[in-house]
Structure 1
């Protein structure tokens, strides 16, 4: 089974957040930044700044965590973001070299 990641991205005004799951975090964030899917939620709302992520050994665990986070409130997501990234800087440069299969 593949490893997995959950991630939270936001727009430059930090008014919108999106939670997702992937097996290849750098590739997925790049897809958001390039607006690879122009009709997607993230493209429509310019949500492409990585502000939070977690890595899991198995993608199934990441999917379960994504569901848990999505079920939570906006404040719960903000608390998670503050715990890892209090300044809410874009973390893409830090993770772009993570090697995944």
Structure 2
């Protein structure tokens, strides 16, 4: 397999409802990861709380940067995380539905 010049890594936040339980994750494949979360196979925590709504994500080229950001967000206070989400997604829309429809129409 040839080495790629550019990789994609994502840090993302899931919830079950606006201002609900928050989960911060990291992945190298957002499509696959969101499908697993949607099917209830993402992780025990996300399955237990039915966290399927993607409310925030950031993309990175370098895995080290993504891991560093994930750790940073996990250490933030809850109100900081909520402010971050609401700055980009004030209605707590499920961004995965939007992204999924964009990628399936290509």
Q: TM-score per shorter chain, which class?
A: 0.7 to 0.9
What is the correspondence of 1:1-40 to structure 2 with a 5 Å cutoff? 2-12=7-17, 14-37=19-42, 40=44
TM-score, scaled relative to structure 2: 0.83
Contact 1:52 1:84 in 2 (8 A): yes
CA distance in 2, matches of 1:48, 1:11: 6
CA distance in 2, matches of 1:95, 1:5: 13
Deviation string 1:11-54 (CA, Å, 9 cap, x unpaired) is 036420000000111211111110125x6100001111000000
Q: Highest CA radius of gyration, 1 or 2?
A: 2
Contact 1:26 1:95 in 2 (8 A): no
Deviation string 1:29-80 (CA, Å, 9 cap, x unpaired) is 111110125x610000111100000000112211100000000011111011
List alignment gaps of at least 5 residues for structure 1: none
CA distance in 2, matches of 1:15, 1:68: 20
List alignment gaps of at least 5 residues for structure 2: 1-5
Q: Which has the higher helix share?
A: 2
Q: RMSD across aligned C-alpha pairs, in angstroms?
A: 1.8
| Number of equivalent positions | 97
Contact 1:4 1:60 in 2 (8 A): no
